[in-house]
């Protein structure tokens, strides 16, 4: 595990998965059908248990805008990934070992200093690496 500082908020546009984990890939595929993959754009997975879902994990595939307005035209849900200090694990070659992402979050959620209201954030660094991270409590 390593500390990671997100210097500024990131506004993203999301497509919610119908279920977790079964529909995660489908949510990403739907997002990429609207927003073709490019290395210039940042992509994310955002999840946590939600009260309105009786504690079930709600997952969204997300992307940021390259230029203002390029994603707002799709009427997607907006979300702000908050700046701050995170605890993180980078998973390499994630497509060859997708369960490694879940294992990384199992380790991260056991860390005592995470924000209990924080989200599990997958920040896709490229097509081989993903940074799994959870915001830390404010100190």
Dist CA 20 CA 53 (whole Å): 11
pLDDT in tens, 10-41: 999 999 999 988 999 999 999 999 988 888 89
How large is the greatest C-alpha to C-alpha distance in the chain, in angstroms? 41
pLDDT computed for residue 103 by the predictor: 95
Tokens, residue 47: 């999840």
CB 114, CB 87: distance < 8 Å: yes
Structure-block tokens of residue 4: 């990671």
User: What predicted TM-score, i.e. pTM, was given to this entire model?
Assistant: 0.91
Query: 85, 3 in Cβ contact below 8 A?
Result: yes
pLDDT tens digits, one per residue of 78-135:
999 999 999 999 999 998 988 899 999 999 999 999 998 899 999 999 889 999 999 9
CATH superfamily of domain region 2-135: Regulatory factor, effector binding domain (3.20.80.10)
How high is the pLDDT of residue 13? Answer: 95
- Using the CB atoms, write b or e for 89-125: b if 16+ within 10 Å: bebeebeeeeebbeebbeebeeeeebbeebbbbbbbe
Residues 6+ away with beta carbon under 8 Å from 80: 9, 10, 11, 12
Two tokens, residue 72 = 């707002």
């Amino acid at each position: 595990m390593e500390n990671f500082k997100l210097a500024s908020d990131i506004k993203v546009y999301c497509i919610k998965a119908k279920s977790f984990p079964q529909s995660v890939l489908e949510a990403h595929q739907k997002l990429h059908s609207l927003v073709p993959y490019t290395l210039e754009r940042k992509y994310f997975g955002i999840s946590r248990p939600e009260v309105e879902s009786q504690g079930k994990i709600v997952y969204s595939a997300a992307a940021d805008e390259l230029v203002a307005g390029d994603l707002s035209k799709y009427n997607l849900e907006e979300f702000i990934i908050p700046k701050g200090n995170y605890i993180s694990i980078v998973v390499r070659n994630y497509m060859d070992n997708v369960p490694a992402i879940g294992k990384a979050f199992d380790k991260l959620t056991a860390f005592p200093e995470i924000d209990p209201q924080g989200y599990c954030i997958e920040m896709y660094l490229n097509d081989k690496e993903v940074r799994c991270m959870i915001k830390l409590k404010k100190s």
